[in-house]
Structure 1
Amino acid sequence: MKKTQQATLAGGCFWCIEAALNSIQGVKEAISGYAGGHVENPSYEAVCKGDTGHAEVVRVEFNPEELSYRQLLEIFFSLHNPTQVDRQGNDIGPQYRSAIFYHGAEQKQIAQDIIKEIEEDGIWDEPVVTEVVEIKNYYPAEGYHQDYFTNNPQNQYCNMVVAPKLAKFKKTFAEKLKV
């Protein structure tokens, strides 16, 4: 049996990040949830108010023999704008911040290295503001948030925001998609 690892990533609305990561080879599952706050077992409504300290995150279980943590982060950085403080597009508030909640010193170092490379390469005009913080808590989101994009194709947000982002993502990472 292959050993898996976990990663916890925040890059705006979790619906898009989860849908994209669940389509990648080597990802066993990506689960929407909340991390980084001070309230135990927060609800979506409480997190949306922006005062629980939690970010919308995706907890990813992946096989490092098929997808390295570095490759996972490279994909993550392609899915959102890491220069926006407490927002992604029209989604505004600390729950939409860019953050990597690392699981151990190796993940921390890889995250810091990639951010440094992004900065040095001048990929963005603005500085990267992605937080790199140790995972202290994680709470899965309510069931209706899991596989939200797949289960709610009629949703206006999914049609206007998630679908175009995923189409671009799938074109860019076609060789890494699950068959």
Structure 2
Amino acid sequence: MTETYVIAGGCFWCLDAAYRALRGVSSVVSGYTGGRRPHPTYEQVCTGATGHAEAVKVTFDPEVIAPEIILDAFFTMHDPRQLNHQGADRGTQYRSAMFYESDEQRALFEAARERAAEIWDAPVGDEEGTIVTRIEPLGDFYDAEDYHQDFFAKNPTQGYCLAVAAPKVNKVRARFAQYAA
């Protein structure tokens, strides 16, 4: 049996790469959700006008890796205190968000956000410096273009991958070494 979470925390290339580094994760799909435009393109999402976030759909085996580890890894690989950006990536498409499919997922996401507030020593809120991660119902999820899927593995020497994605992957591997693939 597998479970799937849809989460957004900055550029989906980083989330994709970090989750692929964990044992028990069977699939990671980069895509767009949380917006208004059906079937948006990357270029449209980058304008910020669609309302979509760059997100990943992570499918995993909870018998191999606990849901709490998947969620704690999420709060390790991005800074949930940054409102509508991660580092130099700016705009609502880079927001921190978790998209739930059930009341059970919503409760797990809320508990994870509370743990993150303790780890980051910041309250949950709506302003920069607080844990700004939004928890919203999952609407339509649109797969990103093929060249975005597993981008880090396909482009390991690309500048963004070396400067931004690789450190995040290494941070997750170090913190969750017992789950490293």
Taking the aligned partners of 1:170 and 1:10, their CA distance within structure 2 comes to 19
Q: Give aligned pairs, total.
A: 175
Secondary structure of the corresponding residue to residue 37 of structure 1 = coil
1:123 is aligned, of 120, 139, 142, to: 120
Which residue of 2 is the match for residue 160 of structure 1?
A: 163
Taking the aligned partners of 2:150 and 2:18, their CA distance within structure 1 comes to 10
Alignment of 1:55-70 (within 5 A): 55-70=53-68
Whether the aligned pair in 1 keeps the contact of 2:36 and 2:50 (CA below 8 Å) is: yes
Whether the aligned pair in 1 keeps the contact of 2:76 and 2:171 (CA below 8 Å) is: no
Code of the aligned partner of 2:36: H
Code of the aligned partner of 1:151: K
Alignment of 1:54-133 (within 5 A): 54-119=52-117, 121=118, 123-125=120-122, 126-133=129-136
Which residue of 2 is the match for residue 16 of structure 1?
A: 14
Whether the aligned pair in 2 keeps the contact of 1:6 and 1:103 (CA below 8 Å) is: no
TM-score normalised by structure 2 residue count: 0.92
Q: Which runs of 5+ in 1 are unaligned?
A: none
Which residue of 1 is the match for residue 125 of structure 2?
A: none
Fraction of identical pairs, as percent:
42
Taking the aligned partners of 1:133 and 1:162, their CA distance within structure 2 comes to 26
Deviations 1:65-111 (A, max 9, x none): 11222221011100000011100010000000000001211110111
Q: Which runs of 5+ in 2 are unaligned?
A: 123-128
* Alignment pair present for 1:176 and 2:173: no
Secondary structure of the corresponding residue to residue 8 of structure 1 = strand
Which residue of 2 is the match for residue 27 of structure 1?
A: 25
TM-score normalised by structure 1 residue count: 0.93
TM-align CA RMSD: 1.2
Secondary structure of the corresponding residue to residue 8 of structure 2 = strand
